[in-house]
Amino acid sequence: MKYLLSRASLIMIPLVLLSACSQEQETAIVEAPAAVSSAYTEFNTQLTIRDVMNTLIDPNADVIWEAVGFEASLENGIVESKPETDAEWDALSKNAIAMIEGANSLMIPGRRVAPPGSTTDFPDAEYEPLEVEEKLREDSASWIGFAQAFQASTFEVLAAINARDLDAYTIAGGRVDDACTACHQQYWYRTELR
């Protein structure tokens, strides 16, 4: 009988432990979604438009524009640079995707233009951040329109990348530049300098 009791105990102990672990795990699964959903009821807009431009838009756009070009020198003549390998095209795809998501970030309402107290290095040529915020308050629809135009032209770049179509890539890259210029003329460069 002593042997049976020990054997029963050996069987029961793991079952009790397994049951306790299972209950803890179920509790964690039930609690996690509630914590996540309450933490993300709104977009986090602590980062500014300047942050988005300096990290997602500008550096990635520079890579897109500089991927195709010509360099002339006396010793080498004219040297063309362009994406040729799948790895080079795939890298450009990541740049385009970052720009597209950057455009989404620009359209999130409530984002400041720059940190409080920020200025510009060229106040005679560029609007100050507070002036830009005033322009955004007056006409947020135009801001969204510019961001969407930028995003649409960047989707064209992405399609050209996926097709490995250099001509379409060059044309779409020009459209991205046009979209950027149109927005900058409205929200960055002072009217008298256009």
Rounded distance between C-alpha atoms, residue 68 and residue 70, angstroms: 7
Q: What token pair was written down for 5? A: 């009791």
Q: What is the pLDDT of residues 77-128, one digit of tens each?
A: 898 999 999 999 999 999 999 999 999 999 999 999 999 999 999 999 999 9
pLDDT of residue 79: 87
Rounded (10°) CA dihedral 11, 14, 16, 20: -170
- Kindly report the CA angle at 148 between 159 and 154, in degrees rounded to 5? 25
Full-model pTM: 0.76
- Kindly report the CA angle at 85 between 83 and 88, in degrees rounded to 5? 55
Q: What is the pLDDT of residues 143-160, one digit of tens each?
A: 999 999 999 999 999 999
Residues facing 80 on adjacent strands: 70
